[in-house]
Structures are given as structure tokens and as C-alpha cells.
Structure 1
């Protein structure tokens, strides 16, 4: 049976902080292990700065219904990789196939990261995401595979798994690809509470009702036959193409045709988003040519013929 005894060195070489958990080189499940990709999970445990890895013991020792180890590494709240195993682990179950990952035994096919957050009302921290991107890129490089071999458990699962929650997996793969090619893609996020970067009129209320929100709260307003836009300001570093993504909490009572306005190099472009569905994660509006400079770049308009609150939460730009 193959092992990945090189894992710790590869992670450290990528600048990832590593803690080795006991006899990781010999802790593994019986069976074949010949990985061709990396699979992301969330643990469903609530982590925090003071309790950064609540699921570590379970990931090492397993549960009554599933013996450990349950992953090759756990990623704690601070982005530290706790390396648990160099061999086969019970993390993936049966793969239904996704992208270049074929159907079959997921535990044979994939190296697994368990990212320690609950995935219901808690998203992964920036430290967890950034460390996981760096680690995934380094491991795929070592395996001789490209970024398409990074998958989320919800993509390969045959039993309806939802992990990892609150991330766009296509964006994750783009970020891994950029890292693998030595890219340092510029990216910036503006939330409705980002000082000096968000403006909205007095008709926009503040709410923390939905657990799918980005940050502490979000803004909402009734639709009207007038723009009254909430604007997000970005300091775009260079004239280039940028991926525009939005985050909003979804609710059946929210607006089905919310207008997002992108101020591009050739004029404003409007994209309509159904905010009744697809919330609690980054959702792409498309890739647009944007000019350099510090200016209002993306807006949420109230001018919608549909009923239900229009929501303004967070916007992310990434150079591509």
C-alpha cells in the first residue's frame, strides 16, 4: 500500500504551518491508497480562536460507527495543518465521480483535509482557506496533477454530503491553479460593514437575521422603481479582467431579480440574481474588464419589478 510520507515536507515547503500528531506515518486504515487528488471537507464542529481544533480527537480516533483516522490532515481555526496520517483514511466513502476523479473508492483516490468549522452558521476562516489553497496546490504539484483534481466532498459524495459549506468550489480550483502557476492573483472583499468602502441610503436597513450572512450583518431594502443603489468601492490595482462574486443570505421571501451593477471599462453592466436561492456562499456574476483606480465598482440596485427584499451583503473581486 502506498503512503504519502512526503506530506509534511511538502506542506512546510509551501509555507503551511504544520503540527505532527503522533505516529502519523503508521496511522492508517487497511486497504489500497493511490491518491490522484485532494478532497475538502468540513468537520461540522464549531471552532474558535480559543478552541481551534475541536474535532481533532475524532479525526484521529474515529467514531463508534467509523474508525479513524478520518483524514490525512485537520485544518484548525488558525490555518494550522494537524497532520494525522500518511496512508488511507476513512474520509471520502464511495466516489460517484467528479471532474477527473472517477467513480470508485474515494478513500483510495483522494487525500482529505478536514477543515474545522461547523458549516451551518460558521464559515471557514480566511486563514483556513488560504492555508488549504497553499496545501492543495503543493500536494497536487507533488502528485503531478492539475487543479481540477481538487474537489469538495459534496461533488463526489453518493450520499448527499454538503461539505464544505460556504465556498464556491470552482473559485477554489481557480485559486489553486493560480497558486500552482506561481500566480499572486489580486483579490479584495468589501462587506457592507467595511469602513469607507460601502455606501447606502437611509432606506437600506440593517439585519443579522440570517445565519447565511457574510460577517456580522447585511443590508436590505424594499424594491422600488428607482435605483437607490448600495455601492461597493474597490481600489483596483490595474486595468485587467476581474472575476466578480457576490455573497448574500438566501430566503424564500427575498427578491427573485435583484440587479447587480458592475461599472466596467466600457460602461455599466447589470446582472440579475435570484436571492431566494444559492445564498451563504460566493456566487459568480461573471468576468469583466475593469479600469484601474479607487472607485465605486459594484452596486446592488433597488430597481426590481419582483417582490421581496433586495439584499446587499458582500462583494469580492479577483484578477484573472
Structure 2
């Protein structure tokens, strides 16, 4: 269990992990905090955007859409490996998910299959949306995969979490398939190796 880090510490953690970061507008104060609690935080949730084109993707994740107001995540990771910060605080990214999965993340265990949607994930997870059509054919460039690894490791490092605090949307909410084309087990192995390294870069 952890209190959310400050926006300043969030940005610093990403920089310290060697990431290229772009700050979009007043991202530090762009959130959904008036619509529900933010924290305690327990992990990092990875998504794909089901979009193409960096500018369009960033704009959508910052502003949202009629049925789902933005921000839709904390950071957008584009194909070139840049992290674009679009919001901070409670964001509309996780939705309702499985409380058994949340308990497993808190206990630092492998999560069970998700089979219910009863628990507010927007409260408990940092979220990264990753630019990809999500059709199983759109490639995941090495630069993007490395940025996902570094971003997840940065937050785990700050909070003292293991790689088991990093999950995909498909492991949290029944019916979701994202991040399609990314093996979450392989991603967690990469995060574990990075966390074990003595230097961040």
C-alpha cells in the first residue's frame, strides 16, 4: 500500500529511469479527483490505445471522449518511446476490475484470472496508454517496449514494489484484451531485471 507520489516525484522518477518525457499542458492538475478517490496506489496498469498516430492518440488520452472524459491515463507511450504526460491524479483508465486481482497485487503474488468487475481501479493504479491499434498486427517497436519497461520500473522502484505490481488491463478487467501483442509475463521479467540492476540507466 502506498500514497500516490507527487506529480513532481512522478516526473523525476521517469527522468531518473532514463525516459524521454514530454509534458502536455497543465498535466499536473488535469484529473478526475472530484469524481472519486485517488489512492492508496498498488500498481501499474498497461493498456493499448486502439488508435494510430501519435498526435491523435495523445489528444484523445488527454481529452477523452463524450462517454469517457479525460484524462484516460497518466502517460501516453508513443511508438518512438516518448512518454507524454497528460494527467495526474485519478484518471479514467482502469474502470472496475477484479478484487481478487487487486489483493494478489497487494500481496505481491501472481494474479488469478479476472472474472468479476467490482472494484474501482482508477483509484488504485497508475496507468500508461501505449500507442497501438490493438489488432494483433500493429507492431510494438523496441523503443516503445523499452519505454514501457522503464516507466513501469520507475514507479515500482519509487514505491519498493516488485514486477508483480505491473499488470495488463486484460488481467484486471474481464473482456479486455490490452495490451494485445505484448506478453505481460515477458514484460514483468524485463521489469524485474531492470529493478535488479544497480544503476537506473
Q: TM-score range by the shorter chain?
A: 0.7 to 0.9
Distance 2:15 2:58 in 1: 20
1:168 equivalent among 183, 189, 198: 183
Distance 1:93 1:9 in 2: 27
Two-structure CA RMSD over aligned residues (Å): 1.9
Q: Confirm or deny: 8 A CA contact 2:32 2:91 kept in the other structure.
A: yes
Q: What TM-score do the two structures reach when normalised by structure 2? A: 0.83
Q: In structure 2, what is the equivalent of residue 311 of structure 1?
A: none
Within the alignment, does 1:125 sit opposite 2:127 as a pair?
no
Structure 1: runs of 5+ lacking an equivalent: 185-320
Q: Tell me how far 1:123 sits from its aligned partner.
A: 2.8
Q: Tell me how far 1:109 sits from its aligned partner.
A: 1.0
Within the alignment, does 1:41 sit opposite 2:47 as a pair?
yes
2:14 equivalent among 11, 16, 23: 11
Cα 1:89–1:24 shift into 2, 3 Å: same
Distance 2:56 2:188 in 1: 27
| Residues 190-219 of structure 1 deviation map (CA, whole Å, 9 limit, x = unaligned) | xxxxxxxxxxxxxxxxxxxxxxxxxxxxxx
Q: In structure 1, what is the equivalent of residue 192 of structure 2?
A: 177
Distance 2:5 2:13 in 1: 14
Q: Tell me how far 1:167 sits from its aligned partner.
A: 1.4
Structure ranking higher on relative contact order (CA contacts 8 Å, 6+ apart) = 2
Q: Tell me how far 1:183 sits from its aligned partner.
A: 7.3
Structure 2: runs of 5+ lacking an equivalent: 112-117
Q: What TM-score do the two structures reach when normalised by structure 1? A: 0.53
Q: Confirm or deny: 8 A CA contact 1:53 1:77 kept in the other structure.
A: no
Distance 1:74 1:83 in 2: 6
Distance 2:10 2:191 in 1: 17
Q: Tell me how far 1:62 sits from its aligned partner.
A: 0.7
Select the structure that is richer in helix: 2
Within the alignment, does 1:137 sit opposite 2:153 as a pair?
yes
Report SS of the residue matched to 1:55.
helix
Cα 1:2–1:134 shift into 2, 3 Å: closer
Select the structure that is richer in strand: 1
Q: Tell me how far 1:53 sits from its aligned partner.
A: 4.0
| Residues 153-177 of structure 1 deviation map (CA, whole Å, 9 limit, x = unaligned) | 000013x011001111111111101
Q: Tell me how far 1:3 sits from its aligned partner.
A: 5.5
Report SS of the residue matched to 2:167.
strand
| Residues 105-144 of structure 1 deviation map (CA, whole Å, 9 limit, x = unaligned) | 1101100000011011203221111011011111111122
Larger Rg computed on CA atoms: 1
Cα 1:53–1:181 shift into 2, 3 Å: farther
Distance 1:22 1:12 in 2: 18
Within the alignment, does 1:21 sit opposite 2:24 as a pair?
yes
Number of equivalenced pairs: 179
Runs (4+) of structure 1 exceeding 6 A deviation are none
